[in-house]
Copies of this chain bind each other. A is one copy, B any other.
Amino acid sequence: MDDEMTIIVFSNDLDRILASFILSTGAVTMGLKPTMFFTFWGLNVLKKEKATRSPAGWIKKMMSLINRRRADSLKLSQFHMFGIGTAFMKKIMNKSKIPSVPEMITMAKELGVKIIACTTTMEIMGVHQDDLIEEVDNVAGVATYLSTAKLSKVNLFV
């Protein structure tokens, strides 16, 4: 058993994304090798500001429409309050010297956190690999996740 750690990032709520990155970057400092698997709504965090190709088919077009949130425009899972609660949170993060989500992605990447995008989600959501930010290490499915999780000391579903 290695010093691996996995985090499934399922949600794109600002608070859960924050928790995921605090855990994964903290893990590096503790000698763990964290891998983050971005799946379902979590995949939105890894999308470029502008998709390069638009998805084929009207269903996928609609799906991509309701999945517009990017790393810099996430909402809180609670107290979003039409943007006021979320704006407060961002202000406080800033005051508390907690980096923004795009900054966290860069930081995690520099520290050696592995960032993987879920292929099943990409298929469902109509997302192509070149729609993803360059910080993504790999696109992979559940088999890759499980083969890492099997060897990991800590596995979390956030």
Contact = CB atoms under 8 A, between A and B. Distances in A.
Q: Size range of the interface on A? A: 35 or more
A19 B10 contact: yes
Interface string A129-158: 000000000000111011101101111111
Q: Interface of chain A, helix or strand or loop or mixed?
A: helix
Contact of A15 (B41, B62, B96): B41
A51 interface: no
Contacts of A62: 88
B123 A96 contact: yes
A30 B153 contact: no
Contacts of A91: 59
A107 interface: no
Interface of A: 3, 8, 10, 15-16, 19, 22-23, 26-27, 29-30, 32, 39-41, 57, 59-60, 62-63, 66, 78-79, 81, 85, 88-89, 91-93, 95-96, 98, 120, 123-124, 141-143, 145-147, 149-150, 152-158
Contact of A154 (B3, B27, B30, B146): B146
A59 B90 CA distance: 10
B19 A39 contact: yes
Contacts of A41: 15, 78
Contact of A88 (B59, B149, B154): B59
Contact of A30 (B10, B23, B88, B146): B146
A32 B85 contact: no
